[in-house]
Structure 1
């Protein structure tokens, strides 16, 4: 089996949860397989230690100027990542890219890759907290609300448990579905998400979200997943025009109310398929789709698999 070495560049004040979710699936994959499929090391600005936002201090093996050749290099920042973008860090990333290393970013790391000029014209994921600022700062990057993006030159994940989703995806890609499921089971991690799954975030936080119209619109949608209503009805309940509702969803989510509503219903359907014994037709109805055929077409388009295949992957 192919062995790979990953380097994690730990930015000061990085998110420790993201680091754990990145390395633990790799460790478990090694343990279950009985082989060293993955090895990894850490790099930081001073080449000695890196402090996480929870004050955990990690010992590192490399400075940014001494990162060795590796198969993948992951950037892991956290809060205030823009304050820690140093010339040494950017030089490290550009050198790795020039050497053919696959450079990726976790949590708020997409901001750093975009600052380095890596993401122009590409799709990228970043933690929801940075969506609005990122859209303003990097209009040439196609920011998506997904948990991760794995089908671009530079992978990006939105942080936290989305990092585990990405690592399970890589393990499946490298060593097969069975090993990825065994790792997920060992982590007691049920229903790992595909990259296209939307980030699940609190109503208050989403969209700067203290926008009362947006909060109410999403709450109305969530309360009517089984019997969906129209954007006109939603706008009427909120007391705004349909045009204003469209503008709000375009501004905060870069999508339409109808599409966002459909994504919520498809997300519900996926959870039902993964977590219940309901038939596909029952799942379709419970998610607001009266036609199983229509539901199946939308589901395949959203998740790149059919409802029946999704159910089969549970076995």
Structure 2
């Protein structure tokens, strides 16, 4: 009988409990459904004793940062405050494992750690959408995608239920779609996604929108935050009048193009304030503001506090 595939999970402090469960449970259920021990797993923590997730639950682990002795896959699972928890010891452990030939993967914010170690340069990678702005600024050499997961040599998944999608994909690759479907049925998971599926619910689904002009306009805004396009320029690209564009935003979003675009820019600025160590000036420029004073006034008017106060309060 073929030996069970051994998956190891390195749990960083503040890891996502949801992502961890969605990664581990499909392996357990695969054993149950198949009636055979197809998978076994071990848990790794920085101190070799426990790992604490972001909801405060404490998980016992099997090992610390010693060599894994040729596991079939090693997945790093992280969550909040990933930068603070990416210690030199964690990076050294991952580099040793990679040098030893261990296939690596990361879930939720874990792609940030692999990128910090230099493992993702020139490669596609997925990370939880809330970390996209931080990641794109820190690692411009990585091809960041908004997929739920990327199944390549170094696997990355965006977190949450995307971890289940990834594991079902790996189970299907190794043991066939009948088993992966059986596992999904046991999980009462009838919306299994391919890796290329988008992470976030589409604007069309969220707002019930079907107007293609509006969808394209929002796409243009999201792609030009650093160099904001004017409503007139967006309308010209769409082949409609500025007045038509304003009516679309008013009818479908109860907003104006200019106000909606400003919200997008300020939301990105808030992410960068909390998730990066960039200066206020750098963040202002990255979000299309030509002066720090204009950025600070606009941010305060929208959020009720200055950028610096917001950063100090949440960090």
If the length of structure 2 is used for normalisation, what is the TM-score? 0.68
Instruction: Give the CA deviation at 1:240.
Output: 4.7
SS of the equivalent of 1:40 reads: strand
Alignment-derived partner of residue 18 in structure 2: 17
Mapped to 2, the partners of 1:102 and 1:77 lie a distance apart of 18
Alignment-derived partner of residue 117 in structure 1: 118
Conservation of the 8 A alpha-carbon contact between 2:67 and 2:97: no
1:145-294 equivalence runs, <5 A: 145-150=146-151, 152-200=152-200, 218=203, 222-225=207-210, 228-229=212-213, 231=216, 232=238, 235-236=245-246, 237-238=248-249, 240=257
Give the count of matched residue pairs: 230
Instruction: Give the CA deviation at 1:196.
Output: 0.4
For structure 2, list consecutive stretches of 5 or more residues without a partner in the other structure: 217-237, 250-255, 269-315
Instruction: Give the CA deviation at 1:187.
Output: 0.3
For structure 1, list consecutive stretches of 5 or more residues without a partner in the other structure: 204-217, 253-315
Conservation of the 8 A alpha-carbon contact between 1:221 and 1:228: no
Bigger CA radius of gyration: 2
Alignment-derived partner of residue 282 in structure 1: none
Mapped to 2, the partners of 1:162 and 1:147 lie a distance apart of 5
Provide Cα deviations, 1:233-279, integer angstroms capped at 9, x if missing partner.
574434559xx98xx89x98xxxxxxxxxxxxxxxxxxxxxxxxxxx
Mapped to 2, the partners of 1:219 and 1:15 lie a distance apart of 28
SS of the equivalent of 1:53 reads: coil
Instruction: Give the CA deviation at 1:55.
Output: 1.3
Instruction: Give the CA deviation at 1:157.
Output: 0.4
Mapped to 1, the partners of 2:35 and 2:17 lie a distance apart of 27
Mapped to 1, the partners of 2:137 and 2:163 lie a distance apart of 25
Alignment-derived partner of residue 7 in structure 1: 8
Mapped to 1, the partners of 2:50 and 2:126 lie a distance apart of 28
Conservation of the 8 A alpha-carbon contact between 2:157 and 2:166: yes
SS of the equivalent of 2:26 reads: helix
Alignment-derived partner of residue 128 in structure 1: 129
Provide Cα deviations, 1:78-101, integer angstroms capped at 9, x if missing partner.
100110111211111111111111
Alignment-derived partner of residue 276 in structure 2: none
Matched, 1:77 2:78: yes
Conservation of the 8 A alpha-carbon contact between 2:127 and 2:159: yes
SS of the equivalent of 2:190 reads: coil
Instruction: Give the CA deviation at 1:200.
Output: 1.9
Distance 1:17 1:240, change over 3 A: closer
Provide Cα deviations, 1:101-135, integer angstroms capped at 9, x if missing partner.
11000000000000000000000000011001110
SS of the equivalent of 1:65 reads: coil
Distance 1:92 1:221, change over 3 A: closer
Mapped to 2, the partners of 1:136 and 1:113 lie a distance apart of 15
Mapped to 2, the partners of 1:93 and 1:75 lie a distance apart of 9
Matched, 1:67 2:68: yes
Distance 1:240 1:18, change over 3 A: closer
Alignment-derived partner of residue 95 in structure 1: 96
SS of the equivalent of 1:62 reads: coil
Mapped to 1, the partners of 2:96 and 2:24 lie a distance apart of 23
